[in-house]
Chains A and B, each alone.
Chain A
Amino acid sequence: MPYILGTNFLETQFVKSALESFYGVGPKVSQRLMARYYIHPTAKIGALKQQQIMAIQEDLSNMTIGNDARRILKDTIMRLKEMGTYRGRRHALNLPVRGQNTRSQIVTARKHNRIVDRTHG
């Protein structure tokens, strides 16, 4: 059960999914990380060498992920709000920020446009 950044992963888990479990690591970042250490897309955690795990861990620790990335997002939204921008207002109201119609479907906006995004945390 290897540890990566303090999280314990099952050996049978895909490396890709393990990496993407960190907030701020998506398909592009995980692909780049895996290509850097010659890990193929269907590799499992158990197949990694200790050296590769250490290298990935070091890379991840130098990246803005997890709570740091969340804080940046939150600060950006707060900044918009405090400046009194339209986008800030829309965030504060849990409404779509980028000009979408609000007549019928804004469920996703209600989830994600909050000042504190509860779906990612």
Chain B
Amino acid sequence: MKKILMNLLLVSSLFSQTFTFSAIPDQDETKLKERFSKLAVYLSKELNVDAKFVPIKSYSASIAAFRNKQLQLAWFGGFSGVKARLIVPNSMAIAQGVEDTEFRSYIIANVKTGLTSSDKFPKGLEGRTFTFGSKGSTSGRLMPEFFIREHLNKAPSKVFSKVGYSGNHTKTISLVQSGAYEVGAVNYKVWDAGIKAGTIDTSKVKIIWTTPTYPDYQFTVHGDLDDTYGKGFTAKLKATILNLKDKAILESFNRSGFIEAKNSDYAPILSVGKSTGLID
């Protein structure tokens, strides 16, 4: 029965082809769904395709889905984007948020640790319990790990008494706030949005350090979209994203706008990935 319906849908979609996209699950799923369902409506209208967002549970699964061509477009982090483009020939970054050229991570600590905020890399981290976000996250894993190694000349597992991986940024904040972990690394956008929404209890958890900036999130597409969706489609897709002015969508992305991106913008991430041994 469902198949028949699906076929009917397919027939009707001859006029507008399905265009599937997804994102890395870097924060709460409801927030992601809200953000990307708005984007789906916008893309469907502007590009005359049936744009569909599919939620994916893990960073690696979103890379796998992109690789298997189950996704045509993906909103990757710096790290996941670099990994995806390494294994998918001809795939390319097309757009990034204005803020993504200068992204940051916060190192946060439970207030009871007595750690204080400083401009320099914080002292007294040794021997604490520490949580990253997802293992595949740029702002919650790769870059914090890089800065920790850079300043302390040791792998995180040697610096901290315990190293965990909370899964996403929202969870990192709640685990450090509850004191399950003493210190954590988090995406600055997710933290700032939480402060704005009042979901973070600043009497329990606070920022102790802000990392230097690095390039992060971007939209990545397959190199052969034009073969499927017609000549000039990729260029049109790119223009559509760059021209995005809808306040509600931009707000759900926590971005002020989108600008052009190319693969080479992420060379710093690739070299950090290689130096930390997380990319071969």
A and B held together in a complex = no
